[in-house]
Amino acid sequence: MSNIQEVVRLIEALYSPGATVDVNQIQHQLQAIQKSADGFQLANQLLVEPSFGPNVRYFGALTYAVQLHAGTASHEALWGLFRANLVHLARLCGQYTADPRANAPLMLAIKKLMSNLSLIFININESDHPSELAAAVTHWNNPINTFVRLLAMYSQNSMAAGGWTDIDNPELVQLLLQAINCEVGYDELLKFVAAAPATNELALVFTEIVIEDLTKYQSRKHSVTNVHQMVHTHLYISTMALLNINLTLQLSHHAPQSKLGVSDTVFNCTTAWINYITMTRHLASGASMDLSEIFQNLLNVMCQSTEQTDGFHIAEKVLAIFGNVFANDPTVMSFELRQQCEVIFLGISRLANANVDTSRNAWMLQYMNYLVTNELTTELKDLAICIVDYLQISNLDVCNKLFTTVHSNDAAVSQEYIRVLLQMTNFPLLPVQQEFFSVRMVDFWADLADSYANLPNEVLLPNSTQIGIDIFQQVINIYLPKISLENKKKIIEEDEHDESAVHEFDDFRSAVIDLSQSLWSILGNQFLTNILIAGVGSADASQLPDSGKTEGFFQIEAMAYLANSLMTDMTLSQSPWIQQILAKNKFFISNVLLLFQLGIQMEVTNKTTMLLKIDMVRTSTHMIGTLAGHLKNSAQDLSQCIETLFQGLDSCSRNTSPNKELNDKIEVMVIKAISIVCDVCREQLSQQYLDNFINVFSSLLQPESTVSGFTRGRLAKSIGYIIECRVQNGPEEQAKYIVQIMDMIETFIHQSLAAPAEGQFYRKDYVLNLLTCISEFGSAMIHDEDFEHPLLVQNLQQFHEFWTADPFMCRKKLLALIGSIMSNNLYNKDSSVVEVCCLILGKALTLPDEDPHFLRFPMADIMNVVLKYIKVVELGTALPFFIYLLERLVIQYKNDFTPDQFDFLFNELFITYYQNVISRDPDLLQMTVNFVVTLLDRAPRLILTSNSFATFMIPEFMKLLPSNEKFTIVAITKFWTKLINNRKYTQEDLQMARQAILANGQQLVYQTMYGLYHTQRSDLNSYTDLIRGLVAKFPMETKTWLVNALPQICDKPSTHETFVNKLFVTRGSRAAGSVILSWWLECTSLPSY
């Protein structure tokens, strides 16, 4: 760089807003200078010249930082940096204090110099060889003392010592050495603070920067120890004095305006120090640093803060500090101080004998009143968080005092304390939007309930149960109106675009669910669930006057919402309690259904109605689903529920509103409730509702119906549950229903297939959906032990024989239909269609032999479909589904398969397509190998006796051993390992497998070792398992094979020899893994890690 002016020009260009220059290039240029040997001198020049602007000076300070962080400087150079930063700091601070307003831009450079000095402070005190730094500086105990002294020296005569610009000036160096570890007494510090607000501010900023940097440094896991000790002994003392002087003198006596200016600096510094002390007090090296005086002063200044003096600005700042303490490490504040906080916050103390000065609570009430009146909701929320965090600290203590004999406490005080907390919870404003106390108090009450529930019986007060019931019932009563949709409505209406408030409200409702579940363990059904059920169902909601109708249903919704969460895990079908309580509250179910209908019918005109509709339908459908166990025992309620749910579904299917997403959402909720009821009440529904169900299903199957594929599938399954239970009149009657359903679906499919070609394209998804309905229907017809009908068990054989004969030709018709679909090029190229066809064909393949099922296709039928249509499908995407089907088929009929049949099938499905399709696609390759591995495990004889084993599997799978694809490696090594070591083998199988290995062993070992040598480290384990198998099962042969194979792989004879020797010592145990790894590392010359 030619001269200093050029550098200055570049710096100004770099920092000028909207610069058109190439910033990256300038940065590179300047960084090169900063890191160079000239950087130090350049920084000096930039900081000294008074005509340079603040950016240039800042850049000078930054250059020192670069030199410091480079860490390449000699000790002498470090001492130079130390001197330079101190000298420039003193001079710039001197200039700043002379006229703070005019020289405010200097703060940028001043703060950077302070930050440099904080790093030097850490380095000097942590250095192992401090004596090398400079003869006189072996440590630096207190940056604040140094700063105070230097500033005093500078202000006494700024023109002395070469004008405080030449850092090598001997006189100046002498001054620095005097200042570095000087002692500054309290009086001197007081004088310094009182001298000018600017000097005070600078000292506060300096100590804040030092301690923040140290906190950051420590949190990056740097092991610092000495410096913490140094801080504790020196800097902590000075800073506490500085802060306390500020809090007691400055804040108490300054005029309001200047109070605001200083207060931010004081509070920022205080926060930084609390964070530092909180972090270090748990470290082994951290000595205890008390903050009591600071906290006491903070409490005092907080309570002096008023609307008139500072608009409660100081109160906000102090509360933010306390909030931080209570949230992170409350015990950093002493018990006595926390007790003072309690009285301020609540106007009461838990200690019966406490000398409570409630006047300070009056200040708090005044502050709250100010926040509420001025709608300062953010500040009110911060206050709520702070107070509830405080309350959480003493939660266990509150619990003990209320419910146990552990403390000899005054019951009245505890009760009064709880009354205050209940009042606070019931803060009379809109939760989330206007007040946050009720939201945060959920955690407090939940913890109190948990603590109470965990108390041992022997310490409980005799009346603790009653106390608990009284308190927690009040809590629930407070929250019920709070979580009402009425409040959600107001929140949405406040600002339709503010999603976060709505989300927060939803979270609040979820939190109250958790709370109610915790409270249930104390209140039980008697004092909680019953009350909620009574709230929902003691009066007929249809009689609500129009004026209060919506609000009435919102109340019902809130209570049903909580009741549902409590009843979800109950086995209502066997519960006399639910019968009794519903008998007492005869409108419960009808009111829930009214809520459902109201939600369904609610016209969606805006976001508010849309969200409320969803909530109302969700709560009511969840409740109906939960009640399914009860509906089993109540024909009338079941009838009412099913009818209403179907009306709702019907309304969804006729809904042509543009809001499809909303409609879909509602539809899913309704069909899920229907599905649960059908599943649980299948037997009851099978008696009289089956025909109705089939009619509804028929109408929803129509291509014109707007219901989703998901709904059709779930309904098909639901009907399946009911038909599965229709066994009382023997298999024929059940079969008629099955055939009716199948005919219905098949007819619609045939109609679609017969449609003109262009129409068919649009109906492809519809046909796929109808096929899925068959599959779902088939799944529901799988015998479920949980719903085992005694008549079916008794007549199992009869049903089995019926479906074996299949007199209605159900399977034949379905096979023909599948044939039509699979012959159609539009469908057979779609892998989803192939997948569902395979699912239908394989539906009954995993069932026990004696279980009847209308989809139990004979082996030959499935094979025919597979063999016929494999030729027309897109193999790349459809083959996996055929493989899945074949795997199930072979496993199911393994005893019926002859080796010839297997060979034929294997040839048609795999060998025919191997070279041109399968071997080119790692996924198909993996599936093919895995298919063989599965059969090796489930039916090894089929593999070992097939012709393909010797002619195809052995040679082809041998070639795959050295593969690049991880998945191929995993599959292929699994095959060989399984072939070598298989517990399912008979003696005969074992002989065949051994012969195969012995015949191919040499090549197998060569291919394995070649593959291993060329593989990645992450794939070594796959090969290791195979080699272990060989060593364990064929020790003698493998040794010879290895000795022959290894020299062909790489030329490392001694490595190979060591490997072979060590490997056979392991006998194929786990230890072989490390031997193989060592060989691989040595052969590939890769480092071990």
Closest contact distance (angstroms) between CB of 710 and another protein is 5
- The neighbouring-strand residues paired with 545 are none
Taking CB under 8 A as the binding criterion, the range among 166-174, 356-364, 474-482, 921-929 that sits at the site for another protein is 921-929
Q: Give ∠ CA 774-778-784 in degrees, rounded to 5.
A: 155
Q: Which of 880, 1011, 1029, 1068 binds another protein (CB under 8 A)?
A: 880
Query: Using CA atoms, how far apart are residues 774 and 771, in angstroms rounded to an integer?
Result: 5
Look-up of token digits 């707007």: 706
The candidate with the shortest Cα–Cα distance to 518, out of 552, 468, 467, 482, is: 468
Q: Is 521 in the site for another protein (CB under 8 A)?
A: yes
Number of helices (H), then strands (E), in the chain: 60, 0
Q: Which of 353, 500, 636, 1054 binds another protein (CB under 8 A)?
A: 500
Question: Which residues 294-333 are close enough to bind another protein by CB under 8 A?
Answer: 327
Q: Is 669 in the site for another protein (CB under 8 A)?
A: yes
Q: Is 162 in the site for another protein (CB under 8 A)?
A: no
Q: Which is nearer to another protein, 268 or 877 (CB)?
A: 877
Closest contact distance (angstroms) between CB of 112 and another protein is 30
Phi/psi at 821 (5° precision): -70, -45
Lay out the site mask for another protein across 402-441 (x = CB under 8 A, - = otherwise). Answer: ----------------------------------------
Neighbours of 1018 (CB within 10 A): 9
Question: Which residues 803-842 are close enough to bind another protein by CB under 8 A?
Answer: 831-832, 835
Q: Which of 217, 967, 1013, 1064 binds another protein (CB under 8 A)?
A: 967
Q: Which is nearer to another protein, 344 or 666 (CB)?
A: 666
Q: Which is nearer to another protein, 119 or 671 (CB)?
A: 671
Query: Using CA atoms, how far apart are residues 184 and 821, in angstroms rounded to an integer?
Result: 95
Q: Which is nearer to another protein, 363 or 710 (CB)?
A: 710
Q: Is 496 in the site for another protein (CB under 8 A)?
A: no
375: left (phi over 0), alpha (psi -120 to 50) or beta: left
Q: Is 507 in the site for another protein (CB under 8 A)?
A: yes
Residues 6 or more apart whose CB falls under 8 angstroms from that of 674 comprise: 642, 645, 646, 649, 714, 715, 718
Q: Is 636 in the site for another protein (CB under 8 A)?
A: no
Taking CB under 8 A as the binding criterion, the range among 71-79, 472-480, 850-858, 875-883 that sits at the site for another protein is 875-883
Phi/psi at 680 (5° precision): -75, -40
Q: Which of 177, 320, 511, 610 binds another protein (CB under 8 A)?
A: 511
Query: Using CA atoms, how far apart are residues 696 and 893, in angstroms rounded to an integer?
Result: 39
Beta strand spans in 154-271 (E): none
Q: Which is nearer to another protein, 88 or 974 (CB)?
A: 974
Query: Using CA atoms, how far apart are residues 694 and 842, in angstroms rounded to an integer?
Result: 25
Q: Which is nearer to another protein, 665 or 750 (CB)?
A: 665
Taking CB under 8 A as the binding criterion, the range among 447-455, 739-747, 952-960, 1076-1084 that sits at the site for another protein is 447-455
Helix (H, G, I), strand (E, B) or coil at 599: helix
Q: Which is nearer to another protein, 183 or 507 (CB)?
A: 507
Q: Are 369 and 306 in contact (CB under 8 A)?
A: no
**Which CA distances in Å does 188 have to 148, 248, 760?**
9, 17, 95
Q: Which of 357, 375, 514, 643 binds another protein (CB under 8 A)?
A: 514
Q: Which two tokens stand for residue 607?
A: 């976001």
Number of residues that bind another protein (CB under 8 A): 33
The candidate with the shortest Cα–Cα distance to 90, out of 29, 154, 169, is: 154
For the chain, the residue count is 1089
Q: Are 496 and 607 in contact (CB under 8 A)?
A: yes
Taking CB under 8 A as the binding criterion, the range among 112-120, 261-269, 667-675, 814-822 that sits at the site for another protein is 667-675
Q: Which is nearer to another protein, 140 or 452 (CB)?
A: 452
Q: Which is nearer to another protein, 607 or 672 (CB)?
A: 672
Q: Is 672 in the site for another protein (CB under 8 A)?
A: yes
Taking CB under 8 A as the binding criterion, the range among 129-137, 196-204, 287-295, 450-458 that sits at the site for another protein is 450-458
Closest contact distance (angstroms) between CB of 831 and another protein is 6
Buried residues in 95-132 as b, exposed as e (16+ CB within 10 A): bbbeebeebeebbbbbbbbbbbbbbbbbbbbbbeebee
Q: Which of 191, 254, 665, 994 binds another protein (CB under 8 A)?
A: 665
Closest contact distance (angstroms) between CB of 668 and another protein is 5
Residue 688 CA, chain-centre distance (Å), reads: 47
Q: Is 618 in the site for another protein (CB under 8 A)?
A: yes
CA contacts within 13 A on the Cβ side of 287: 12
3-state SS, 962-1015, equals CCCCHHHHHHHHHHHHHHHCCCCCCHHHHHHHHHHHHHHHHHHHHHHHHHHHHC
Taking CB under 8 A as the binding criterion, the range among 75-83, 222-230, 446-454, 891-899 that sits at the site for another protein is 446-454
Closest contact distance (angstroms) between CB of 884 and another protein is 9
Q: Which two tokens stand for residue 781?
A: 């017809």
Q: Is 1077 in the site for another protein (CB under 8 A)?
A: no
Which own/partner pairs from 10-13 qualify as long-range (CB within 8 Å, at least 24 positions apart)?
Answer: 11/46, 11/55, 11/56, 11/59, 12/53, 12/55, 12/56
Q: Which is nearer to another protein, 767 or 1004 (CB)?
A: 767
Q: Is 510 in the site for another protein (CB under 8 A)?
A: yes
Lay out the site mask for another protein across 359-398 (x = CB under 8 A, - = otherwise). Answer: ---------------------------------x------
Q: Which of 293, 307, 504, 1037 binds another protein (CB under 8 A)?
A: 504
Q: Which is nearer to another protein, 153 or 716 (CB)?
A: 716
Q: Which two tokens stand for residue 485?
A: 């949709």
Identity of the amino acid at 980: I
- The neighbouring-strand residues paired with 460 are 404
Residue 49 CA, chain-centre distance (Å), reads: 55
Q: Is 443 in the site for another protein (CB under 8 A)?
A: yes
Q: Give ∠ CA 414-419-421 in degrees, rounded to 5.
A: 95
**Which CA distances in Å does 127 have to 78, 133, 211, 658?**
12, 9, 18, 72
Q: Which two tokens stand for residue 23?
A: 């910033």
Lay out the site mask for another protein across 691-720 (x = CB under 8 A, - = otherwise). Answer: -----------------xxx----------
Q: Which is nearer to another protein, 218 or 946 (CB)?
A: 218
Q: Which is nearer to another protein, 188 or 923 (CB)?
A: 923
Query: Using CA atoms, how far apart are residues 272 and 411, in angstroms rounded to an integer?
Result: 41
Q: Which of 454, 466, 823, 964 binds another protein (CB under 8 A)?
A: 454
Q: Is 861 in the site for another protein (CB under 8 A)?
A: no
**Per-residue DSSP letter, 287:** P
Q: Which of 339, 640, 877, 1055 binds another protein (CB under 8 A)?
A: 877
Query: Using CA atoms, how far apart are residues 224 and 289, in angstroms rounded to an integer?
Result: 17
Taking CB under 8 A as the binding criterion, the range among 85-93, 362-370, 842-850, 922-930 that sits at the site for another protein is 922-930
Taking CB under 8 A as the binding criterion, the range among 209-217, 462-470, 579-587, 919-927 that sits at the site for another protein is 919-927
Closest contact distance (angstroms) between CB of 77 and another protein is 36
Q: Is 937 in the site for another protein (CB under 8 A)?
A: no
Closest contact distance (angstroms) between CB of 753 and another protein is 21
Q: Which residues bind another protein (CB under 8 A)?
A: 327, 392, 443, 450, 453-454, 500, 503-504, 506-507, 510-511, 514, 521, 618, 665, 668-669, 672, 708-710, 831-832, 835, 876-877, 880, 923, 926-927, 967
